[in-house]
Structure 1
Amino acid sequence: MGAVETLVSRNEEFARSTFDGNLRMKPKLATIVIGCVDARVDPALVLGAAQGEIMAIRNVGGRVTPRTLEELIMLRAVAGTVNDDFDSEWELVVMQHTQCGLTRIHDRTELLATYFDVSENELGAVPVTDPYAAVARDVSLLRADGRLGSARVSGLVYDVATGKVATVASG
């Protein structure tokens, strides 16, 4: 059996035993976590969130890039269509992690400059090898972006060796 067949079979069990058709589009904790695609770092599992409590945007490194900002702007617009105030009660959490694969390509300036939408000369201002510095930078980007309203912004680093998160910036 291949991966797709395994996952479809598991979905049948989910639909039978766990599915909740009453969940709202807005997560119960009004929280969006920006995290890495690394399989070890599923935001819902790591943070103990139940189904429907958080949203997650996952990308390489869990980074705030121009594309991530555009996704958040789109989510704000979607929230407005269902009469949900994205501003004051929403929380944004940047969660990066130790031993991230992105650190292994820190010398691939052409890839990283494109990813972060900066020139190769500006790449030195974008931390890649230190998750704590990267979270601090990304939190400050979110806080400075006026298009996100007054959403609370925090930052965490997940340690893949211990399973614990450390708060880098609290909203």
Structure 2
Amino acid sequence: MINTDEPADRNARFADGGSFAGRKLMPTGGLTVIGCVDPRVDPTAVLGLELGEAAVIRNVGGRVTPATLATLDMLARVVRARTGGPGPRDNHYAVLHHTDCGITDLTAFPDLLTDYFDVPAIDLAAKAVTDLVAAVRVDVEILGRTLRAGVFVSGLVYDVATGLVDIVVPPARVEA
């Protein structure tokens, strides 16, 4: 088991390397990834991202929920406060779901899922909790309706057995 001493020791080695120095608040790769908290699916490792290249939002299932949208809104406000504008139009938002996701185990608890997605029970099926590809499409569609025009949105599925990512929804610019 990893206790608090081990991460602190690892952090000291990280700090000694100095790779964090001079990093800016804005991701240098213009990428925001919405992914799952599953420890097998760390977006930075899975997508080969370097420190500072992407912002990463993680939750159960990597789903676009009302809480995710609130986080994205807060991030947009931070960008406006920091830069005085809406940020680059070529930013990219990627939804990253994965095989063998534990959220599918929660279908036995529809009340929990309706609360999580903030939908009435009758609308829960539209969230496609048990259909991985459909769930990616649902979440990308929500982002497309929510994010500002000009940014890109895409959807990916990571296979925990092979380590490979499939592009389910290729990057597309959000229209006005």
Question: What is the TM-score of this pair, normalised by structure 1?
Answer: 0.94
Partner of 1:148: 148
Is 1:61 aligned to 2:78, yes or no?
A: no
Taking the aligned partners of 1:18 and 1:130, their CA distance within structure 2 comes to 43
Deviation track 1:129-170 (CA, whole Å, cap 9, x = no partner) reads 12111000000000011x534321000000000000000111
Instruction: Say yes or no: does 1:52 pair with 2:49.
Output: no
Which aligned pairs between 1:3-82 and structure 2 lie closer than 5 A?
A: 3-82=3-82
Alignment match, 1:104: 105
Distance 1:111 1:158 in 2: 25
Structure 1 residue aligned with 2:130: 129
| Structure 1 runs not aligned, ≥5 long | none
Q: CA deviation at 1:87?
A: 5.2
Letter in 2 for 1:140: E
How far the C-alpha of 1:2 sits from its partner, in A, is 5.1
Aligned to 1:45, the other structure's residue is in SS state helix
The question of 1:168 aligning with 2:141 is answered: no
Q: Which amino acid aligns with 1:121?
A: I
The secondary structure found in structure 2 opposite 1:92 is strand
Letter matched to residue 93 of structure 1: A
> 1:120 Cα shift?
1.1
Question: What percent identity do the matched residue pairs reach?
Answer: 43
Matching residue of 2:91? 90
Report the 3-state secondary structure (helix = DSSP H, G, I; strand = E; otherwise coil) of the residue aligned with 2:155.
strand
Is 1:86–1:149's contact at 8 Å kept on the other side of the alignment?
no
1:60-101 deviation line (CA, Å, top 9, x unaligned): 000000110111011111011121543512110000000000
Matches of 1:82 and 1:149, distance apart in 2:
20
CA-to-partner distance for each residue in 1:6-63, whole Å, 9 max, x for gaps? 1001100000014322000011111100000000000000000011111100000000
In structure 2, distance between residues paired with 1:87 and 1:122: 35
Counterpart amino acid of 1:14? Answer: F
TM-score by length of 2: 0.92
Residue of structure 1 equivalent to 2:174 = none
Residue segments in structure 2 that go unaligned for 5+ positions in a row: 172-176
Aligned residues: 170
Aligned residue identity for 1:119: P
Distance 1:6 1:149 in 2: 44
Distance 2:46 2:19 in 1: 21
Paired with 1:59 and 1:107, the residues of 2 have a C-alpha distance of 19
Cα RMSD of the aligned pairs, angstroms, is: 1.4
